[in-house]
Amino acid sequence: MNFLRKNKTFIKYVFSAGSSFVLDLGLFTLFNYLFGMVMGYESIIVATIVARILSSLYNFAINSKYVFKQYSKVMLLKYYILVIIQMLVSSILVYFINKYLIDTFAVVIKFVVDIILFIINYFIQKTIIFVQKGEG
């Protein structure tokens, strides 16, 4: 029980990020399939951007309201800077890994890449974006 109390924010973040991840991955799969019929490997980048824009709207709302319980325009700006960086890193890594290293389902590669980014993002959001009053 003490573990839950001490890690309440992280546990909420896991659920928030998990549901956002499922939404992002589902949208990526859909858009990569639709755009892939026309664009080939480049559909990975377009699908990543569209899916991330949509899932990030949901994720910021959940994080600001339920996880970190804070909102400001500065937080929103910092969050979207992080989203853009994460989106670029994710799309570039998935594109290059899929095209040059492992020609498999892009969704599988995206899953692995985004799990690593998930861990990094928690610390960035907690220490830079949703900084508690009196911290940082």
Judge contact between 19 and 27, C-beta under 8 A. no
pLDDT in tens, 30-59: 998 998 888 877 888 889 889 989 999 999
Using alpha carbons, select from 61, 117, 129, 71 the residue that is nearest to residue 92. 117
Average pLDDT, the chain: 85
The region of weakest confidence among 29-33, 85-89, 131-135 is 131-135
Q: Which helix (H) or strand (E) holds 57?
A: helix 43-62
Judge contact between 82 and 118, C-beta under 8 A. no
pLDDT in tens, 92-123: 898 888 888 877 778 888 888 988 988 898 88
| This prediction's pTM | 0.74
Question: Cα separation of 28 and 99, whole Å?
Answer: 17
Q: Domain extents for the chain?
A: 7-129
Confidence of residue 134 (pLDDT cuts 50, 70, 90): low
